[in-house]
Amino acid sequence: MFLAGSAAVVVAACSDDDTTGSTDLKTTTPATTIPETAIPETTIPESTIPETTVPATTIPATTTSLAPIELSGDPFTLGVASGDPDSTSIVLWTRLAPDPLDGGGMPSDDVEVTWELGTDETFAEIVATGVITAEAAHAHSVHVIVTPPRATDGLLTYRFRVGQYTSAVGRTKLAPAGSASLARFVSASCQNYQDGFYAAHRDIAEQQPDFVLWLGDYIYEGGAATVGEGAAVRSHLTPEPMDLDGYRNRYALYKSDLDLQAAHHACPWLIVWDDHEVENNYAAEIPQDTAEASAFVARRLAAYTAWWEHQPVRLDPPQASGEYRIYRDAQWGDLVGITLLDTRQYRTDQACGDITLSLDPACPETFDDDRTLTGDEQEQWLFDTVGSHGTTWNVIAQQVVMSNLTLNGAVLNFDQWDGYPANRDRVLRHLADAEVPNVIVLSGDIHLAGIGILRDGEPGIGQAVAVEFVDTSISSSGLIDPAVTELVKSFPDIVDVELAYRGYTLHTVTPTDWSAEYRIVEAVTDPESRVTAYKTYVVDEGAAAVRSVG
Distance CA 170, CA 265 (A): 4
Closest contact distance (angstroms) between CB of 97 and Fe ion is 25
431 near 439, Cβ under 8 Å? yes
Closest contact distance (angstroms) between CB of 270 and Ca ion is 18
Toward Ca ion, which CB reaches closer, 110 or 274?
274
Closest contact distance (angstroms) between CB of 397 and Fe ion is 16
Distance CA 330, CA 368 (A): 32
Binds Ca ion (CB under 5 A): choice among 18, 275, 309, 329: 275
277's contact among Ca ion, Fe ion, none, with CB below 5 to 8 A by partner kind, is none
Which stretch, 84-92, 123-131, 162-170, 217-225, contacts Ca ion (CB under 5 A)? 217-225
Toward Ca ion, which CB reaches closer, 173 or 447?
447
9 near 51, Cβ under 8 Å? no
Closest contact distance (angstroms) between CB of 271 and Fe ion is 15
Toward Ca ion, which CB reaches closer, 115 or 504?
504
Distance CA 539, CA 54 (A): 43
286 near 293, Cβ under 8 Å? yes
Question: How does 177-212 read in b/e, with b if 16+ C-beta sit within 10 Å?
Answer: eeebeebbbbbbbbbbbbbbbbbbbbbbbebebbbb
How many C-beta atoms surround the C-beta of residue 224 within 10 A?
Answer: 13
Hey, which residues does 537 pair with through a beta bridge? 516, 548
Hey, which residues does 93 pair with through a beta bridge? 81, 143
Binding-residue total with Ca ion (CB under 5 A): 4
Toward Fe ion, which CB reaches closer, 190 or 544?
190
Give the residue from 140, 401, 115 showing the smallest Cα distance to 252: 140
Which stretch, 35-43, 210-218, 457-465, 529-537, contacts Ca ion (CB under 5 A)? 210-218
Q: Is 217 among the residues that bind Fe ion (CB under 5 A)?
A: yes
Closest contact distance (angstroms) between CB of 499 and Ca ion is 16
Task: Print the binding letters for residues 435-454 with Ca ion: x by CB under 5 A, - otherwise.
Answer: ----------x---------
Closest contact distance (angstroms) between CB of 519 and Ca ion is 20
110's contact among Ca ion, Fe ion, none, with CB below 5 to 8 A by partner kind, is none
Q: Is 51 among the residues that bind Ca ion (CB under 5 A)?
A: no
- For residue 292, with 0-12 CB atoms within 10 Å meaning exposed, 13-18 middle and 19 or more buried, which class applies? middle
Residues 138-197 that bind Fe ion (CB under 5 A): 190
Toward Ca ion, which CB reaches closer, 247 or 537?
247
Distance CA 144, CA 314 (A): 9
Rg (CA), the chain: 23
Closest contact distance (angstroms) between CB of 215 and Fe ion is 9
First to last CA, the chain: 55
Closest contact distance (angstroms) between CB of 194 and Fe ion is 12
Closest contact distance (angstroms) between CB of 476 and Ca ion is 8
Toward Fe ion, which CB reaches closer, 72 or 477?
477
203's contact among Fe ion, Ca ion, none, with CB below 5 to 8 A by partner kind, is none
71's contact among Fe ion, Ca ion, none, with CB below 5 to 8 A by partner kind, is none
DSSP class of 378:
H
Closest contact distance (angstroms) between CB of 217 and Ca ion is 5
Toward Fe ion, which CB reaches closer, 273 or 346?
273
Which stretch, 215-223, 252-260, 343-351, 413-421, contacts Fe ion (CB under 5 A)? 215-223
Strand ranges of the sheet holding 439-443, from the earlier edge strand across to the other edge: 328-332, 336-340, 393-397, 439-443, 463-471, 449-456, 494-498
Which stretch, 55-63, 161-169, 334-342, 469-477, contacts Fe ion (CB under 5 A)? 469-477
Which stretch, 109-117, 398-406, 461-469, 473-481, contacts Fe ion (CB under 5 A)? 473-481
Toward Ca ion, which CB reaches closer, 76 or 307?
307
Toward Ca ion, which CB reaches closer, 343 or 392?
343
Distance CA 550, CA 530 (A): 19
Distance CA 301, CA 425 (A): 31
Task: Print the binding letters for residues 341-380 with Ca ion: x by CB under 5 A, - otherwise.
Answer: ----------------------------------------
134 near 113, Cβ under 8 Å? yes
275's contact among Fe ion, Ca ion, none, with CB below 5 to 8 A by partner kind, is Ca ion
Toward Ca ion, which CB reaches closer, 97 or 470?
470
DSSP class of 41:
P
Give the residue from 488, 390, 402 showing the smallest Cα distance to 444: 402
Closest contact distance (angstroms) between CB of 476 and Fe ion is 5
CA 78 from chain centre, in angstroms, equals: 17
Closest contact distance (angstroms) between CB of 216 and Fe ion is 7
Q: Which amino acid is at 237?
A: L
Q: How, if at all, do strands 183-188 and 211-214 pair?
A: parallel
Distance CA 215, CA 342 (A): 9
Toward Fe ion, which CB reaches closer, 276 or 519?
276
Toward Fe ion, which CB reaches closer, 190 or 411?
190
Question: How does 310-334 read in b/e, with b if 16+ C-beta sit within 10 Å?
Answer: bbbbbbbbbeeeeebbbbbbbbbbb
Toward Fe ion, which CB reaches closer, 190 or 454?
190
483 near 434, Cβ under 8 Å? no
Residues 276-315 that bind Ca ion (CB under 5 A): none
Q: Is 274 among the residues that bind Ca ion (CB under 5 A)?
A: yes
Closest contact distance (angstroms) between CB of 106 and Ca ion is 32
Distance CA 90, CA 173 (A): 8
Q: Which amino acid is at 124?
A: A
Residues near Fe ion (CB under 5 A) are 190, 217, 476
Residues that bind Ca ion (CB under 5 A): 217, 274-275, 445
